[in-house]
Homo-oligomer: A and B are copies of this chain.
Amino acid sequence: MKFAQRLELVETSAIRELFKLLGKPGIISFAGGFPDSAMFDVLGIREASQRVLTEQPGPALQYGATEGHPPLREAIAGFMAGKGVRGLSANDLIVTTGSQQALDLIAKTLLEPGDTALVEAPTFLATIQCFRLYGPQVLGVPIDAEGVRVDLLEESVKRHRPKLIYLIPTFGNPSGAMLSLERRLKILRLAVQHQVVVVEDDPYGDLYFGAEPPPSLLALSDQVPGSRDWLLHCGSLSKVLSPGLRVGWLIAPPALLQRATMCKQFSDAHTSTYAQATAAEYLNSGRMPATLDHVRQVYGQRAAAMGAALRRELGDAFSFNQPQGGLFFWGRLTGAGGALKDGQAFAKKAIEHNVAFVPGAPFFADQPDASSLRLSFATSDLDKIEEGVKRLGAALRS
């Protein structure tokens, strides 16, 4: 069987390697990129599910509009209004099968061979691969503690004339970085000035531990005339409610939304109405604020504990910024005191010590930083975090 050439554009061995690390019994894993199942509001979801299947089983089990289940589109518009997005109606968004599908539809709609997509270095692995399947080159732009380096981003825009810039501005995977307000506004101006599409992927913005982060690019677009015409925004319930529902959304200008809807029609017809109706019922139940408070508090405690343990156990051999939200620590091995400097080598050594994380190199579209690594604190309780980081320290010194 002869396969399409586009498959040769994608390198997945790095991903498979990551997941192979996780199978060992007795291991403490900081490798995952997912929320803690113990935090799901199972009762609330079960009640929503029952109401849907009792009161409106027909629409919940029948085919639905490709754009999404109307009550869910309304509920998402309301949810976004609560996050400072003004003037958004249900018609300005479509529901997608997780925000992964929003990325796929954006790529299918916009990207082709000869195009360039700029992403943060590092960025979400599955975005790099998703984009590459449609033929563009994908180039990274460095970040620092305040998120993507806007000066370098502008240089790259001028040099490569990209079709789009993909950013996870708030507590991004894997960096955990929070883009500053000043840089957010600069990016919106840059989009208008250079007529380049900016994709804001925002699955983590609600997971802040202390002060609220700056408003999303979408919420800020009011302040930069014309920027809304270049801005696509991906959202998701996966990190705040449940990934298993596979409910995400894409907010975009009408011309793009119409084409993405057409592509979606031929990708999966529509997202599960059963899951959509349940999600809509949940959002309308009024339980979401308490759910968000709960996950913020628990993840905040875990992040604080991991930060303290990392400083204590790894010392100056690991350089990182304390995340202010999200699910991840990101940092670099410095080699101080002759410790390991290579993330991949450290990951292998760590497995021997029964603790797992993912090395950072695969998160770069180009020019990987071999000393980097990602740790997730989301699925480990405080005892496991203490014990796991101790094992990391032992592995690093062994």
Q: Which residues of A does B touch, CB under 8 Å?
A: 1-7, 10, 12, 15, 34-35, 37-38, 40, 42, 45-46, 49-50, 53-54, 57-64, 96-98, 100-101, 103-104, 108-112, 126, 129-130, 133-134, 163, 197, 229-230, 238, 242-246, 253, 255-256, 259, 262-263, 265-275, 277-278
Q: Are the C-beta atoms of A37 and B49 separated by less than 8 Å? A: no
Shortest Cβ distance from A32 into B: residue: B63
Cα(A42)–Cα(B4), bound, Å:
42
Given contacts A61-B244, A245-B61, A255-B1, contact A266 B133 (CB under 8 A): yes
Out of B57, B109, B268, which one reaches A7, CB within 8 Å? Answer: B109
Contacts of A253 in B (CB 8 A): 1
Q: Are the C-beta atoms of B256 and A1 separated by less than 8 Å? A: yes
| A–B pairs, 26, beta carbons within 8 Å | A1-B253, A3-B109, A4-B110, A7-B263, A10-B266, A37-B58, A37-B61, A40-B58, A42-B53, A46-B53, A59-B244, A61-B242, A64-B244, A96-B268, A97-B268, A100-B267, A104-B268, A126-B269, A133-B263, A133-B266, A244-B273, A246-B271, A246-B272, A246-B274, A271-B272, A272-B275
Distance to closest chain B CB from A65 (angstroms): 10
Seed contacts A1-B256, A101-B267, A246-B272; 14 additional CB < 8 Å A-B pairs: A1-B230, A7-B259, A42-B61, A50-B50, A59-B244, A97-B268, A98-B269, A100-B268, A101-B268, A103-B266, A129-B266, A246-B270, A246-B271, A268-B268
Q: Are the C-beta atoms of A104 and B266 separated by less than 8 Å? A: yes
Q: Are the C-beta atoms of A242 and B100 separated by less than 8 Å? A: no
Q: Are the C-beta atoms of A265 and B57 separated by less than 8 Å? A: no
Contacts of A229 in B (CB 8 A): 1
Shortest Cβ distance from A130 into B: residue: B266
Q: Are the C-beta atoms of B50 and A37 separated by less than 8 Å? A: no
Contacts of A129 in B (CB 8 A): 265-266
Cα(A133)–Cα(B272), bound, Å:
23
Closest 8 CB pairs of A and B: A244-B273, A130-B266, A37-B58, A61-B242, A97-B268, A61-B244, A246-B272, A42-B57
Given contacts A1-B197, A50-B50, A57-B40, contact A245 B268 (CB under 8 A): no
Cα(A62)–Cα(B242), bound, Å:
6
Q: Are the C-beta atoms of B97 and A63 separated by less than 8 Å? A: no
Distance to closest chain B CB from A255 (angstroms): 6
Q: Quick one: which of A46, A49, A266 has the most chain B CB within 10 A?
A: A266
Q: Are the C-beta atoms of A63 and B244 separated by less than 8 Å? A: yes
Shortest Cβ distance from A265 into B: residue: B126
Cα(A230)–Cα(B232), bound, Å:
41
Q: Are the C-beta atoms of A242 and B37 separated by less than 8 Å? A: no
Cα(A22)–Cα(B269), bound, Å:
18
Shortest Cβ distance from A196 into B: residue: B1
Q: Are the C-beta atoms of B246 and A4 separated by less than 8 Å? A: no
Contacts of A34 in B (CB 8 A): 62-63
Out of B6, B63, B134, B245, which one reaches A274, CB within 8 Å? Answer: B245
